[in-house]
Structure 1
Amino acid sequence: MDGKRVLVTGGAGFIGSNLANYLAELNDVVVIDDLYLGTPENLDDSVEFHDASVLDDELPGSTDIDVLFHLAALSSRNMHEENPQQGVRVNVEGFVNTVEQVREQCDTVVYASTSSIYGSRTEPSPEDMEITAQTGYEASKLAREKYAEYYSNHYGMTMAGLRFFSVYQGYGGAEEHKGEYANIVAQFADEIVNGQSPGIFGDGSQTRDFTHIDDIVRGLEAAADHRLDGIYNLGTGERYDFNTVVGLLNEELGTDVEPEYIETPFDDYVHDTLADSTKMREATGWEPQIDFEEGIERVCAPYK
């Protein structure tokens, strides 16, 4: 993508800032973020930043937009459960409000959904499998997908919903400001370096499909370039358990820190995730390029 005017909501956050900085090399990039879980320090000087909410009546910088990347959200189960009403407002109303403000000029939208709606699965999860909302967060993202379907059918817009799988980069990137909401790879690495035992729910056998931020950014760009419509997974198709993550981090950092096992605090905890990204691969040629071992090296590099 080049020569476009691009709006990234939630663009000062982890995924959004990586996307905005990447696209700013060849495009005019505008970022809107209310700084609930983002910081403008993540952004390059070439990015136009506005401290604003996706719920605002008039979104600054939203004129003459060619592509909208809508990443703004209360982006986890716990964030949403702390204030379900606000979660719905941000995740659903904020999405509709933003699309409404750009749709007369922009017909290409790429937005964040979630892989959480697949629940706990050790088999690859395809986009067309039967799903049910187990949490308010999942319900809000499913509502977002349905509104996207409406905009596609009613207005002919291309609305690509991407279900990300366990995105990580490390505190040397743009995750540190997320604190307890950062990916466990980033949290565990920082704790191990500081001689602290990573806290793991259960016995550490739970697994995730860890996907490096660079692969996610390329997937977001590919979805816009190919003007995808519908729902697409972004994940590696490989899974690692948390005990293995701790072992790989110790090996890379030259440490020997044991985890601390904690009772799982809620019943709807997702034990396993695994992506089937066949649909995305066939539509765009996208493939994950950073395997987990290389990703671990990148996470640990700033500590050496």
Structure 2
Amino acid sequence: MSDTAIRLGTRRSKLAMAQSGLVARDLERISGRTVELVQITSEGDTNRASLASLGGTGVFATRLREALAAGECDLLVHSLKDLPVAPAPGLVIQATPARADARDIVITRDGTPLDAMPTGARVGTGSPRRIAQVLRANPGVETHDLRGNIDSRMGRVRDGELDAVVLAAAGIGRIDADGSTIGGLHAEHRDLVSWPTAAGQAALAIEARQDADPQLLAWIAELDDPVTRFAVTLERELLGAIEAGCHAPVGVHATVDDHEVRVRADVYGAEAASDVSEDVSVPLISLDALIEGYIQGRGSGEAVDRDGLIARAREIGSDLARRLLDNGAADIVTREAPTS
């Protein structure tokens, strides 16, 4: 390709710019080319309604993908949890770099754990999954819808409007290298076994056009982490099968360790008694060979979705989704499905 700068499309938020900057520096190192950040405003950045009312997943991605398809930029960096599970026509997720801390954290003024907060304490979150998890941990608290950037969310704790907010640990880590963002507040990390997070949380997705210059695709592919790709593919496969077009709150996290994958998945009902969970460990036979085959085949934009590693992730995710549905999640999905 030519010697012009590589254009990386990103949202304008502080977090999006920080994580896009991380990818830009790595891509400059690999390619020897300058990478420019192209700031793009999405509906999710300008509309202050709740994310659920805006359609949830995908509200931040649509405008960015339109810009990529139109040639306004050469690649995109997304928070993977913000992407719909269905692929976008003509585009490919060419890399998922190594995942950061996937846990959620509860931010408070005084360090009181969520489980010990008094009745009526105000906890901010706009996520249906997090709302369910907060109320499972402490049924006496009140949840309040929450929008805005990380600074403004924590500001509502500092000024006493809220007693706590629930945020992603990865987001804090990417913008808060010196600890100044939390500054004086307290962070309680929630365990992924009892509090699985959103499918793909803490992972980045680097997306390009399928017909992009093969050299650009090859450079991007070098940023891909096979273990992260496996885990998030499994999570997103499970999510897609569970949701089936609905908005049921689902938490799922997969951890690969010592040639097995442990998966915790929860589908949250209207009350705790109707929740459906799976917590399983699945052996990964010939994992090293699967990873090696994946690495050899990922140079093209399509190969990453056809090899054995990805097929195995999808198989496990699909199997677990069927078990959840058979064990009662189908009733939650039906109840939560929007009427039209």
Name the TM-score class by shorter chain: 0.3 to 0.5
Could you tell me the TM-score, scaled by structure 1's length?
0.36
TM-score by length of 2: 0.33
Greater strand share, structure number: 2
